[in-house]
Chain A
Amino acid sequence: MAVGTVRSSKVSAELENAAPVLSVENLETVFLTSEGAVHAVNGVSFSLQPGELLGIVGESGSGKSVTMMSLLKLLPMPPAEIRSGTVGFDGKDLLQVDQQELRAIRGGDIGFIFQDPMTSLNPVFTVGFQIMEPLRMHLGLNKANARKRAAELLELVGIPSASQRLRDYPHQFSGGMRQRVMIAIALACDPKVLIADEATTALDVTVQAQIIELIKDLREKLGMAIIWITHDLGVVAGIADRVAVMYGGQIVEYASVAELYDDPRHPYTKALLQTLPRHEGDRMERLVSIPGQAPNLSGPLQACPFAPRCESAHDRCRQENPPLFEVSPVQKSRCWLEDQEVVNA
């Protein structure tokens, strides 16, 4: 495995200055269901630099998946409604382009992998057919060339006897191998951006380690930018350049990986890191837990959604939702504690 140093904040600052491949501004998505509204995504903005790996972490329900589904317009509408936002990609706003163009981009220039390969792969088609389809559709390859490229792709993701295995069905692969097939499909058209949503969550740690090594390796070879979504702070520590921490449908902290773990600023990030058991040395007497439960998203945010669980909450936190304050060129925190007025008071 590549032994490297942690990417320094300088690198991240430089990343910031390049022209982004993807830039999301003020995305807002609401579900209007018979049981009421769910304000799932509440003004999410981030950008992805060429070749960057952005980690998105947060507990379940924090809006990670809905953010990604929104920007690819993969949500059922209704009940979903994208209330605002722009998604800049390749000089266009993906929220404005027509379905046909969007279909060409999805699985073409933007590849994606979701959590459960068993539900994403179609059980009645061979794996070969499912890799060849995007090649024929997006790249217009003929059957023979598509088959050749499909075999190359399976080999690239480390599946032994690749050309024979094209004839096999998904159930003939193990969980880890199916996830490799999903990665092969996502990479088929040489995407500029790869979105992986909990791509290793359902896998055992040993298989997760294989997949992560594979992703690191592919990144080096192919150079695409990656959004890696997970609830596992450990996984992100090992692969990300920058990290966005989500809570209540917002990014609450956005920082280079070194800063986030070294000097977390948002109370939620701090709390999350503190709940983890120690990995070496003496055990803790008791685990630190975050009291309370996930926030209620039935209305627009009127206050900091973390306030009911936050040790540092004060009156203002319960009255007004904080903006994302810039703590340093490589770190932002959505917390009133960062407001200069508060600091000075």
Chain B
Amino acid sequence: MPETAIAAPEALLRVEDLKIHFPIYDGLFRRKVGDVKAVDGVSFEIKRGETLGLVGESGCGKSTTGRAVLRLYDPTAGAVNFEDRDIASLPANEMRAMRPRMQMIFQDPQASLNPRMTVGAIIAEPLMEHTKMSAGERKDKVAELLDQVGLSRDFINRFPHEFSGGQRQRIGIARALALDPDLIVCDEPIAALDVSIQAQVVNLLEDLQHRLGLTYLFISHDLSMVRHIADRVAVMYLGKIMELAPMGKLFASPRHPYTQALLSAVPVADPKIEANRKRVILTGDVPSPANPPEGCVFCTRCPLAKKTNDKRCFTIPPEWREIEQDQFVACHLAE
């Protein structure tokens, strides 16, 4: 096992009050008329070797957060500290040196692999770009990577379309591993796969984590899979984190009304449980991130705010507080 995995758990990544706003321009004069507040003040850390799950409904800002962590976007505000260096303000050349250490695995292996490149070339591309390896060394490294992700070495000269979805995801994983990264942002890595294939890919990700000491930001809307893979879980809604807690606490006793509603909506493959399930059905739609509600961003749909009609919910953004050891919520009323 590499030394990194043995080192005491320290934060590999510390995201502080991150904001990513996308400007909206009006059609004719290209005047800026507002902002999509895709990520609006998000803070979390991930320890070395840990998996942080990031969940929430589509459009809540999960992918934008993941991309900002890799500095694929420049933050509007806030810091992304990787080993205590703020990569958000790193000059280009230093960022380039940092890049190999953080990689990404995408949802759609089909769209993220160049269809005109062979599997070998796809996996070797980051090696060409970031290392001085000779052609022979690269070939050996590619073969080793194929072994690691459970693909036959014979596949080197084939093209992505010759593979199934699960195999293509393995190719994407091999490519992400090429530069021996520390952190991998997995953005919905199993969403496009069938259930029987999802388990294969998740098992592979877990094996690799143990073997290589990897740290994951695991973005997913599949709460039961996050329950399986994550050590801690952050729940996002409309650009903000609503609750963050160790996996066990989050699923067994969610405190934030949004987390409670989200978990209660997940169907369980057991008719006896389903027949007696009490669901919190959220009404209405998620508001636009260009014009989020005042006060708590969840207030327009929150069952608790509706029930109590507490003024604070509609006027004051709730503070981030530790409601129980290691369990944090942004809610005035949660208890």
Binding site for B on A (CB under 8 A): 1, 3-6, 59-60, 174, 176-177, 204-210, 212-213, 231-235, 237-238, 257-258, 261, 271-273, 275-280, 283-284, 286-291, 293-294
Contact = CB atoms under 8 A, between A and B. Distances in A.
A232 B267 contact: yes
B268 A59 contact: no
Where chain B touches its partner, the secondary structure class is helix
Interface stretch (B4-12, B40-48, B170-178, B222-230): B222-230
Contacts of B266: 205, 234, 279
A294 B194 contact: yes
Given A206-B282, A210-B282, A238-B267, A272 B221 contact: no
Nearest to A279: B268
A60 B58 CA distance: 22
Contacts of A286: 203, 206
Contacts of B272: 6
A38 B47 CA distance: 49
A209 B279 contact: yes
B94 to A, nearest CB: 39
B196 A237 contact: no
A293 B267 CA distance: 26
Contacts, number: 128
Given A177-B285, A261-B270, A279-B266, A293 B164 contact: yes
B203 A276 contact: no
Nearest to B266: A205
B281 interface: yes
A60 B198 CA distance: 13
A3 B225 CA distance: 27
A6 B274 CA distance: 9
A60 B194 contact: yes
Contacts of B194: 59-60, 231, 294
> A174, A207, A232, A279: which has the most chain B beta carbons within 10 Å?
A279
A261 B267 CA distance: 14
B271 A6 contact: yes
A276 B269 contact: yes
Nearest to B165: A60
Given A177-B285, A234-B268, A277-B224, A59 B196 contact: yes
B195 A279 contact: no
Where chain A touches its partner, the secondary structure class is loop
Given A237-B269, A276-B195, A287-B202, A205 B225 contact: no
A277 B225 CA distance: 6
25 contacts: A1-B278, A4-B275, A6-B271, A205-B221, A205-B265, A209-B264, A209-B281, A210-B282, A212-B267, A213-B279, A231-B194, A232-B267, A234-B274, A235-B267, A258-B271, A261-B270, A261-B271, A272-B195, A275-B199, A280-B252, A283-B228, A286-B203, A293-B164, A293-B166, A294-B164
Contacts of A59: 194-196
Contacts of A231: 194-195
Contacts of A177: 285
A38 B138 CA distance: 40
A5 B275 contact: yes
Contacts of B268: 234, 237-238, 279
B262 A205 contact: yes
Interface residues of B, number: 45
Given A6-B271, A204-B57, A204-B58, A176 B221 contact: no
Contacts of B261: 206
A279 B274 contact: no
Nearest to A268: B196
Contacts of A280: 251-252
Contacts of B325: none
Given A174-B285, A289-B203, A208 B275 contact: no
Contacts of B206: 286
B267 A234 contact: yes
B228 to A, nearest CB: 4
A275 B279 contact: no
B198 A275 contact: yes
A284 B228 CA distance: 7
A300 to B, nearest CB: 22
Contacts of A288: 199
Contacts of A206: 57, 261-262, 265, 281-282
A276 B271 contact: no
Contacts of A283: 227-228
A177 B277 CA distance: 24
B112 interface: no
A223 to B, nearest CB: 20
Given A3-B276, A238-B277, A290-B199, A209 B225 contact: no
Contact of A204 (B166, B198, B221, B264): B221
Interface in B228-277: 228, 251-252, 261-262, 264-277
A60 B166 CA distance: 13
A254 to B, nearest CB: 16
A273 to B, nearest CB: 6
A233 to B, nearest CB: 4
B309 interface: no
B271 A279 contact: no
Contact of B271 (A208, A232, A238): A238
A36 to B, nearest CB: 15
